[in-house]
């Protein structure tokens, strides 16, 4: 693709601007992008992501904010030797045991950031839904089986009464019983 400004060189800079919902895209060569002031854009991020978690925890490090924090700072992880102050400064835990040692401090923070302190996962929710569906299907099947058994028992009972009514020559009762039997058989 050629530069949209000069039309001579290969375009290797793509510039997009979105102003009030109108998107404008330009494909430019290096020279044209520098002439237009686009090539000198500084992409340095103002946030240092390595200390992002540490900066979040700084609020919790002030003794006035939480008086129990001073006792928490003296607490050390037996495995790695990290203190809560180290976690605040680094923004990282020393080892997996730190989660257990500092759980009463970390749980509220993790809940605030992620919404929960334990990972359930997407698959867990899908599997739970499938289990619920299977249980519902099983309950429906059992209900249908129970209803079918009741219908079969009632059908057998009505057939016996029909035989007796015919034997006793009660034809009106026999006709009513025959109609009831047909209704049950159609279900």
Provide φ and ψ at 119, rounded to 5°: -90, 120
pLDDT value at residue 109: 81
Tell me, yes or no, whether 5 and 62 share the same domain.
no
Q: Are 14 and 29 in contact (CB under 8 A)?
A: no
- In the predicted model, residues of the chain with pLDDT beneath 50 are 43-45, 49-50, 69, 72-73
Q: Which two tokens stand for residue 150?
A: 């009741």
> What are the C-alpha distances in Å from 91 to residues 31, 55, 62, 86?
42, 7, 16, 8
Question: Full-prediction pTM beyond 0.75?
Answer: no
- Residue range of the domain that includes 27: 1-41
Q: Which of 114, 130, 147 is the last residue of a domain?
A: 114
pLDDT value at residue 43: 46
Q: Are 40 and 30 in contact (CB under 8 A)?
A: no
Q: Give me the chain's average pLDDT, please.
A: 76
Q: Which two tokens stand for residue 129?
A: 């839904």
For helices 122-167 and 171-186, angle between their N-to-C axes, nearest 10 degrees: 160
Tell me, yes or no, whether 78 and 127 share the same domain.
no
Tell me, yes or no, whether 131 and 177 share the same domain.
yes
Tell me, yes or no, whether 137 and 104 share the same domain.
no
pLDDT value at residue 61: 52
pLDDT value at residue 29: 86
pLDDT value at residue 124: 61
Rounded to whole angstroms, the Cα distance separating 186 from 42 reads 79
Q: Where are the alpha helices (DSSP H) in 23-170?
A: 30-35, 52-57, 69-74, 84-90, 97-101, 103-114, 122-167
Tell me, yes or no, whether 92 and 109 share the same domain.
yes
How many folded domains does the chain comprise? Answer: 3
Q: How far is CA 184 from the centre of its chain?
A: 47
| 36: exposed, middle or buried (Cβ count in 10 Å: 0-12, 13-18, 19+) | middle
Q: Which two tokens stand for residue 8?
A: 């001579």
Tell me, yes or no, whether 81 and 138 share the same domain.
no
Q: Are 98 and 107 in contact (CB under 8 A)?
A: no
């Amino acid at each position: 693709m050629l530069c949209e400004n000069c039309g001579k060189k290969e375009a290797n800079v793509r510039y997009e601007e979105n102003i009030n919902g109108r998107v404008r895209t330009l494909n430019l060569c290096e020279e044209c992008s520098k002439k237009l002031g686009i090539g000198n854009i500084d992409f340095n991020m103002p946030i240092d992501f390595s200390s992002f978690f540490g900066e979040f925890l700084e609020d919790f490090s002030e003794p006035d904010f939480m008086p129990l924090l001073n006792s928490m700072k003296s607490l050390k992880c037996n495995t790695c030797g990290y203190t809560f102050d180290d976690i605040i400064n680094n923004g990282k835990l020393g080892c997996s045991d730190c989660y257990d040692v500092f759980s009463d401090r970390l749980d509220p923070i993790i809940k605030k950031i992620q919404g929960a302190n334990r990972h359930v996962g997407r698959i867990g929710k899908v599997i739970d839904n499938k289990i619920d569906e299977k249980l519902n299907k099983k309950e429906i099947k059992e209900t249908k089986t129970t209803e079918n058994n009741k219908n079969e028992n009632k059908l057998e009972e009505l057939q016996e009464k029909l035989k007796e009514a015919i034997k006793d020559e009660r034809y009106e009762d026999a006709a009513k019983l025959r109609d009831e039997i047909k209704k049950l058989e159609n279900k």
